[in-house]
Chains A and B, each alone.
Chain A
Amino acid sequence: MTQSRARALLLTPAGLWYAAMLLLPLAVVLIFSFGERSAIGGYAPGFTFEQYANLPARFAAFRNTLTLAPVGTVAALVIAYPLAYFLAVKVSPKWKTMLLVLVIVPFWTSILIRSYAWIFLLGGKGIPALLESIGLDDVRLLNTPFAVLVGIVYGYLPLMVFPIYVALEKLDKRLLEAAADLGTPPWRAFLQITLPLSMPGVLTGSMLVFILLMGEFLIPAILGGGKVFFVGNALVDLFLQSRNWAFGSAVAVALVGVMLITVGVYTRLVKRFGASRDDVGLM
């Protein structure tokens, strides 16, 4: 009795927090999405499916997001995994802390400032000027999908590195020694032991990055020069420019829906993949 009361008491703050900060705004968005845009913009009460019927008007934004978000996630993973492996397994403890701090340091500055720095690096006086000096003329980097990808990977890399690092850090080294004793070459030991056991980290990191990318609007706006249009940018425009709150809410609800589906499918695929790997690992 007292135990359950203590539990209820301890969970109250989190419960209130979620009710006030998550459920309430979500409910408002849901209600708005069935309303209409008033003549001068904003929201006018109503009950119509018009906003949802109009969703194909933002198809291009969803397509862009659903292309660049997975590509960005995979690129971040490809870069982060070796780094996390190096930090967790190879580097001497003397350097480890310092190198980990270096991975975090960029987080001490706002993503806005860091993205602005890339404007100068990718702009005409930055990397393209260097390329020109070795004979590659007229390379345009800024305001392209490539620039957005660079910004995304740069901005979210630490979120990918840390979960993988933690998973690799916990890895029992004796498994690898045993494998070596039994004559397994290092690459096979990596594929059969290290990689499967680090999958939870890979999954967590990928989810973190992917979910944040689906809602991203800042990096495309800054490094895409307004030409790379994500759902996040569509939402900003709908709420702050055309002030069509009803349609904006419908787009937001659709984004949540798309996110739930993609993340659900992804989790299922990775689970299946992880499970089969475990079987191999136990052979």
Chain B
Amino acid sequence: MKDDNTPISRKAFMEELRRYQKGSVSRRHFLGVTGLGTAAAVMGGALPGLLPGRARAQDIGDRVVLATWPNYHDPANFDAFTDATGAYTQVNVFGSNEEMLAKIQAGGSGWDVFVPTNYAIPTYVEADLIEPLDLSKIPNFDAAAFEKRFSDAGTIDGVVYGVPKNWGTTGIAFNSDKTGGVVDSWKAFFDGARDKWDGRAMVHDYQLTTIGNALVYHGFSFNSVDPNELAQAEKLLIDVKPHLYAISSDYQPAMRNGDAWLTMCWTGDGKQMNADMPEIGFALGKEGGEIWSDYYAIPKDAPHKEAAYALINYLLSPEVNAKEALAHGYPVADSRTNALLPEELLNDPIIYPAAEALSPLEFGAAVTLTDPNRAELMARFKSA
């Protein structure tokens, strides 16, 4: 066992984390050897709201229901939350913002916390489905620590509805052994898909990104709803379709077993594949594409609101958030969390791309999500 007073090196921390994730060491060992157990105890002492006594645990109830995205959390953090508060986190995983919105719109979702992306928040506000946040219950959220562009979509008309979780991009993952090098433009992606990578490319089963990147191919805005520009994007997509390997947002299995050679890809998936198979790279489209930011939010009809606040507050504590980032590989906009992350992660070009690579990217707009013409275009593309 390690002396708790000696800080653990970043490399050793990563090794211990991997060992723990593989199940070869117990959580107790992991928390002890990395000092996180002590850190949590100290944190708990410093923030009475984080590690309440049994009496307090009664207050937030025995469960909290979280609706989130795939591969987006460190399960060990949920266990620690249960140990600290007595509330068990029930996780529901979704494939798209539309799907999440549809469930909340239908009513009775039973969710306490959900994770909308920047462009979805205005729609929730308009439909009166999202709770204005009482920031006094989220002391771990420090607005000053967050980069503005990744946190401002959570505030609408001066009311805070969401606090930032992670941000990321939608780029291209490619298997360089098969593609013969880096694929870093949507021109190369869509042209190659019809030519030398016939039957090997995948696009998302998601209108926002698939249509958006087809628009970017033609030099239009990712968010365009202009009928002429959409028509050109549609022509491209329908032309490419017979040559695609699949239209699916579940691209990791096909990329990993070598059936697909390149795919539209979100940051964290790119990092996860790259970590296991270095030949799989991730690049942003030179012409542009999407940059996004996800937020923790609470539905109006959340059954366990106190537990929801407790969970958000817990996940936003820099120590916990750093563990989350180590597990899922998505960047964090919180400078306090980044201060705790290992250097190699902060310098990783996949997770934290250079500013100039990010500059042509666009945040998705609310209308991009709800535009009926884009939805119909996607249906025509899929049924063609």
Q: Quick check: A241 and B96 within 8 Å, CB to CB? A: yes
Q: What separation, in Å, do the CA atoms of A135 and B230 have in the docked complex?
A: 44
Partner of B257, one of A123, A143, A238: A123
Q: Count chain A residues whose beta carbon lies closer than 8 angstroms to a beta carbon of B.
A: 31
A119:B253 contact, CB within 8 angstroms: yes
Confirm or deny: B347 has a beta carbon within 8 angstroms of a beta carbon on chain A.
no
- Complex CA–CA separation, A123 to B200 (angstroms): 12
Chain B residue with minimal CB distance to A39? B370
Q: Is the CB of B126 within 8 A of A240?
A: no
Assuming the contacts A142-B259, A237-B379, asked whether A226 and B247 have C-beta atoms less than 8 A apart, the reply is yes
Determine if A41 is an interface residue (Cβ-Cβ < 8 Å).
Answer: yes
> Which A residues are in CB contact (< 8 Å) with B137?
none
Q: CB within 8 Å of A: which of B203-247?
A: 205, 207, 241, 244-247
Decide if A242 touches B378 in the complex (CB within 8 Å): yes
| Structural contact, B384 and A60, CB atoms closer than 8 A | yes
Residues of B within 8 A of A226 (CB): 205, 246-248, 382
Judging by beta carbons under 8 Å apart, are B123 and A123 in contact? no
If over half of B's interface residues share one DSSP class (helix, strand or loop), that class is named, otherwise mixed; here it is helix
Chain B residues within an 8 Å CB radius of A272: none
| A239 CB to nearest B CB, Å | 6
Contact of A225 among B245, B372, B379, B383 (CB under 8 A): B245
Q: Does B254 contact A (CB under 8 A)?
A: yes
Contact bitstring B159-185, A, C-beta under 8 A = 1, else 0: 000000000000000000000000000
Contact with A along B99-129 (1 / 0, CB 8 A): 1011001000000000000000001001100
Given A40-B370, A229-B382: A242 in contact with B247 (beta carbons within 8 A): no
A243 to B99, CA, bound (A): 8
**A234-259 CB contact bits vs B (8 Å, 1 = yes)?**
10011111111000000000000000
23 sampled A-B residue pairs with Cβ under 8 A: A37-B372, A40-B127, A41-B98, A42-B127, A57-B376, A58-B383, A60-B380, A124-B258, A124-B259, A125-B258, A143-B246, A225-B244, A226-B205, A239-B102, A240-B99, A240-B102, A241-B99, A241-B102, A242-B207, A242-B375, A243-B98, A243-B101, A244-B375
A125-B257, A229-B383, A240-B96 given; name 15 further pairs at CB < 8 Å.
A40-B123, A58-B383, A64-B383, A123-B257, A125-B258, A225-B246, A227-B244, A237-B375, A241-B96, A241-B102, A241-B207, A241-B375, A242-B376, A243-B102, A244-B372
Chain A residues in contact with chain B, CB under 8 A? 37, 39-42, 57-58, 60-61, 64, 119, 123-125, 140, 142-143, 225-227, 229, 233-234, 237-244
